[in-house]
Amino acid sequence: MAVAANKSVLFVCLGNICRSVTSEALFRQLAEEKGFASDWKIDSAATSTYQIGDEPDSRTNQTLEKMGRKRSKHIARQITKQDFKDFQYIFGFDQSNISNINRVKPKDSKSQVLLMGKYGKNGDEIVEDPYYHDMAAFDTMYEQCDRCVRAFIAEVEPGK
């Protein structure tokens, strides 16, 4: 019998096809590798409606594969009020994401809305949207997401 997840994390960016998908994939795969995936509900979402129903940007999956990770099969969705009931940790990647997340956050929500870069360099690193840039921007985004996700895991799953 499967154990119900008792911890939860949602990664949120503008379109849910680059940064949030990468972080979701990294967290999920690291959780599987380290043996705590069943303890976590893991997902990602968008603040906008631009990409709803779309698969990840092809460059996102190319980057994941290049870095030895599985392709994401996530389908873009928009953040909902229910997410603030379902997720303890909700991460945005830049100040615009954080503002948009907080704009829809219910007043009674106990979710922690955090900048992903809280776990990056200097505690306030911005993970730029690579969408309008070349593959090098996707490599940079991946490196930032990987570093931040690993630091977050180290805090919430010490010893794993």
Q: Could you state, in order of their start, the residue ranges of all structural domains in the chain?
A: 11-154
Strands of the sheet containing 112-115, edge to edge, are 40-46, 7-13, 89-92, 112-115
Q: What is the pLDDT of residues 41-84, one digit of tens each?
A: 999 999 999 999 999 999 999 999 999 999 999 999 999 999 99
What is the chain's Cα-based Rg?
15
The tokens describing 157, both together, are 């799953």
Q: What is the pLDDT of residues 3-40, one digit of tens each?
A: 457 999 999 999 999 999 999 999 999 999 999 999 99
By annotation, the residues acting in catalysis are: 13, 19, 129
The tokens describing 53, both together, are 């129903």
Q: Cα-flanking dihedrals φ and ψ of residue 156, to 5°?
A: -90, -15
Q: Is this prediction's pTM over 0.85? A: yes
Architecture of domain 11-154: 3-Layer(aba) Sandwich (3.40)
